[in-house]
Structure 1
C-alpha cells in the first residue's frame, strides 16, 4: 500500500463527531488528498455549492438528518450539478446490514467504521 493514491481528490467529509472527522481528514491527507469536513446535514449543501468536490464521505447517522435522507435530497435538489460527484456512505453497521443498504440507496460506495487507511485507499482508487 502506497501513501498516495494515483489521483489527488478534493474530498468532503460529513461527520458529526469532530475527533472522527479530524482523524478522517488526516488519513485522506496522508494519501495525498485535500479534505474538508462539515458536521451536519445543513452544512453539506453550502459546502457543495462553495467548492468543487470529487468525493463526499457521509456518515449515515447524522444528528439533524439521516445520511440516507440527505443523499436523496442532494441528488434530487442538485441534479446534474453533482452528476460526477461520488458519494460514499460511512457506517458502523455490521456487514449484513450494510449489504441491505447497498441494494436500496443512492450511494456509490460504502466504507465501514472504524475507517482504516487500506480500505480508504481501496475506495479512492476505485473512484
Structure 2
C-alpha cells in the first residue's frame, strides 16, 4: 500500500476548549452489525451518537442538526458516502462557511484509490474497517478535543468465555477475540452488547446473501461489490474470518466488473454462514 495521505486538522481545533463537554457525532452506516459496534465504541468515548442508514439521510441530518464530526461509510444504498460528502461540501460553499465539518471516511477497503477518492469527495480523514476503539479515538481526536473521560475505560484484559464442549468445532469458524473486544466496550452491559450484535448479524445476513444471489444472477456487479463489501466488515466484527475472506473475494470480482466465478464463491459463503450461525447460536445459548 502507498502511504496514507496526510490529513491536516484545521486551526479551529484551538476553539474546542470553549465548546460544551458533550460532543455530538453522526454515524452514517447501513449495516446493523457495524452500527451497533461503532455506536458502542463512540458512546464509550462519551460522545452522543446519531445514526443515518444512507447518504441521503446523513445529508438531511447535517442540514437540521449541529455535529462535531461525521463518520461516513463510503458504500451505502440510495446515496453513497462520496456523493453525500460532496453535497455537504457544496452546501458549505454555497452558504459561504468554507469547510467547517470534519468528515471521516469509514470503509472496509485500504486501497490507495479509495483514499484518493475520499480526498476528492471532500473527506478529511480515513478509517479502515474493522477498526479498534483506540484507532477510532485517535482519528476523532485529530479533529476535535475528546472529553477527558473519553479514554479506553477498560484497562483490564477483556473477559474470556469459559471453555465449552463446542469449542473444538467453533475454533476455525468464530474468532472469539472479536467478540471479547465488543464485550470490553462496556463494563456494565458488555454481554448484552455481544448478544445484540450477534442477533443483528444472524438476522441480517440471510437477506444479504439472497440479495447477492439476485445481483449475481442479474450481472449487477455494482451491487455485488457493495453488498460483499458491507458483509465483509460485518463478518469481521463478529469474528467470522473465513466468511469475511470469501466476501473479499466476491468484492474483488465486483470491482473487476465481472461475475465469473461469483456463483461458486457465493455458494461457499452460504455454507460458511450456516457454520457461523451454528457457532454464534451456541455462544448465545451458553451465555443465557
Q: When the two structures are superposed, what TM-score results if normalisation uses the length of structure 1?
A: 0.83
Secondary structure of 2:36's aligned partner: helix
Secondary structure of 2:113's aligned partner: helix
CA distance in 1, matches of 2:121, 2:109: 14
Q: Could you tell me how far 1:125 is from its partner in structure 2?
A: 1.2
* Matched ranges for 1:2-21 at <5 A: 8-21=22-35
CA distance in 1, matches of 2:82, 2:59: 15
Q: Could you tell me how far 1:58 is from its partner in structure 2?
A: 0.5
Q: Aligned to 1:48, which of 19, 40, 62?
A: 62
Q: When the two structures are superposed, what TM-score results if normalisation uses the length of structure 2?
A: 0.39
TM-align CA RMSD: 2.1
In structure 1, runs of 5+ residues without a counterpart are 1-5
Q: Could you tell me how far 1:41 is from its partner in structure 2?
A: 1.6
Between 7-16 and 49-58, the greater mean CA deviation after superposition: 7-16
Q: Aligned to 2:116, which of 100, 106, 111?
A: 100
Task: Indicate yes or no: 2:150 matched with 1:120.
Answer: no
Q: Aligned to 1:32, which of 37, 46, 59?
A: 46
In structure 2, runs of 5+ residues without a counterpart are 1-16, 144-288
Q: Could you tell me how far 1:42 is from its partner in structure 2?
A: 1.8
Q: Could you tell me how far 1:84 is from its partner in structure 2?
A: 2.1
Question: Number of residue pairs matched?
Answer: 122
Partner of 2:106: 90
Higher strand share: 1
Q: Could you tell me how far 1:69 is from its partner in structure 2?
A: 1.5
Partner of 1:75: 89
Partner of 1:3: none
* Deviation per residue, 1:22-43 (Å, 9 max, x gap): 2111100101111111101221
How has the CA–CA distance of structure 1 residues 69 and 47 changed in structure 2, closer, same or farther, with 3 Å as cutoff? same
* Deviation per residue, 1:90-110 (Å, 9 max, x gap): 011124334433553310100
CA distance in 1, matches of 2:59, 2:127: 21
Asked if 2 retains the 8 angstrom alpha-carbon contact of 1:54 and 1:84, the reply is no
How has the CA–CA distance of structure 1 residues 45 and 98 changed in structure 2, closer, same or farther, with 3 Å as cutoff? closer
Q: Could you tell me how far 1:123 is from its partner in structure 2?
A: 0.9
Asked if 1 retains the 8 angstrom alpha-carbon contact of 2:115 and 2:126, the reply is no
Partner of 2:280: none
Partner of 2:285: none
How has the CA–CA distance of structure 1 residues 65 and 102 changed in structure 2, closer, same or farther, with 3 Å as cutoff? closer
Higher helix share: 2
